[in-house]
Structure 1
Amino acid sequence: MKIVFLPGMDGTGLLFSELILNIPSEIDREVICLNEIQGVSYREQAEQIAEKIGLSSVVVVAESYSGRIAYELCNILGRRVSKVVFIASFVSCPGRLAKLAAVLPKYLLKPNLFPNWLMKILCFDGRGNRALIEHVRHAIAQVGPRALKQRLLNMAELDEPKDQQSTIAAYIRPTNDRLVAYDAIKVLGNIYPQLSIESVEGGHFIAQTAPESCARVIVRAATT
């Protein structure tokens, strides 16, 4: 069994570094870099990732932005996706902040323009230290403003999926996620009737602030 990790809006996979360290080495894993995918829409990105996966059976771990990619993969690959783990993620528009961010001009989509205190509150529920915040800035800096703008638009324009999924799914829900509204989690529960929710103390960047707790959920999903 392989675990395929799909990153958040930065698309790099760099922010999975601590999480991956907490996954036992005997478990096969692959981190997908969205910045190497040519597709623009969620469906296009999922189709190209499906080609990479091929005939393998996988557990898909989707962080934040990539939740809809995971949903599309379930449609494309069917039973080859044995389980899905969503980390502070969504398959429909995550909330009002996403719609607001989508109208920001490209020149404002630079990580150094957002002060540490704002990132700490919005992204980390006040828990992120300077090193972690700089790690996030570094990951976002690897992506051009045009790509970031497109991903923000993709999130803001998400419709509510109509097809239910039989795939077993788990949701790692931060206790204080200021970026994903509860309504978006309710939609996920409607789409994945077998969804189990695991609460972990922290903010939206929960895989970075609580990698051990998140890894336990992922390993349990992959091995049971």
Structure 2
Amino acid sequence: MAVFVPNILANNFLPIIRALQAKGARAIKLILLPGMDGTGKLFEPILASLPSNLDAQVITLSSLQGNDIKSQAEEVARLIGKQEVIIFAESYSGSIAYELAQFESVNIKHIVFAASFLSRPSYFSKFGAITPLFILRLNLVPSFILSWLFFGSLKRNDQVKLFKQALKLVPNSTLKARLKIIASLTEPEKQIKVPCTYIQATKDKLVNPESITVFQRLCVNLKTERVIGGHFIAQSNPKKCAEVVSEASGL
């Protein structure tokens, strides 16, 4: 009879032990860096889709003092400190994540680049600084066109509404400054040794598909995920993006 006691105890107490271990386990830190709007408002859909054992923190561009990619990366590095993190870098912030990967002091487990770019994303992007932003602010562009352009579908009304809400939080001068930065981007040279995943949006109207070749050349350890949706891929397909982040974190 005594021979079976350990098995009985294990069966009875194993669920309790696992629950205590899960409670005591430290959540994996996820840093989300937003796209050009910089507000983090557009992360609402993916934040709602992430697993609970990811400790997600959005670092907004509006909270940073720096006006260029490198100084913004330095500020983010100070905010991160020495903790191990996963970086989710959306669009514009891909360049910030690239710079972070060059800092030996930053303990990055994995970088997920979401429809990002490290050089000018298209021919037209070099004229970004002269984009008439007032057209968007005055609702002169029909929602179905914005939906098609940004989210890869004609009927993403909720996402378009969220985009317009985010746009209201950012002054034109700030957006023009970031468009100017994008227009001046040139292809970097240093490699990234941190494991990376690149999410390539299948219906991206803003980033040239060839932009991924820069990541393929620079990232020593790169996995590519083609995800259905427009350039705003974390909003077009938040559940799939959340799955990619979960896989990158090892969950």
Q: Does TM, normalized by the shorter one, top 0.5?
A: yes
Give 1:127 shift.
Answer: 4.5
Shift in CA distance, 109/125, structure 1 to aligned 2, threshold 3 Å: closer
The corresponding residue for 1:193 is 220
Give 1:18 shift.
Answer: 1.3
The corresponding residue for 2:25 is none
- 1:211 aligns to 2:241 (yes or no): no
Higher relative contact order (CA 8 A, sep 6+): 1
Paired letter, 1:218? V
TM-score by length of 2: 0.84
Matched position secondary structure for 2:103: helix
When Rg is computed on C-alpha atoms for both structures, the one with the higher figure is 2
The corresponding residue for 2:139 is 112
- 1:26 aligns to 2:53 (yes or no): yes
Between the aligned partners of 1:79 and 1:222, the Cα distance in structure 2 is: 16
Q: Which runs of 5+ in 2 are unaligned?
A: 1-27
The corresponding residue for 2:76 is 49
Between the aligned partners of 2:140 and 2:110, the Cα distance in structure 1 is: 38
CA RMSD of aligned residues (A): 1.7
Shift in CA distance, 128/73, structure 1 to aligned 2, threshold 3 Å: farther
Give 1:105 shift.
Answer: 5.0
The corresponding residue for 1:71 is 98
Matched position secondary structure for 2:86: strand
Kindly provide the CA deviation profile for residues 52-88 of structure 1, in whole angstroms up to 9, marking residues without a partner as x: 0011111100001100000011112466111100111
Shift in CA distance, 128/69, structure 1 to aligned 2, threshold 3 Å: farther
Between the aligned partners of 2:133 and 2:202, the Cα distance in structure 1 is: 31
Q: How many residues align?
A: 224
Between the aligned partners of 1:50 and 1:111, the Cα distance in structure 2 is: 37
TM-score by length of 1: 0.94
Identity over aligned pairs, percent: 39
CA contact (8 A) 1:128 1:209 kept: no
Give the alignment partner of residue 13 of structure 1, picking from 10, 16, 40: 40
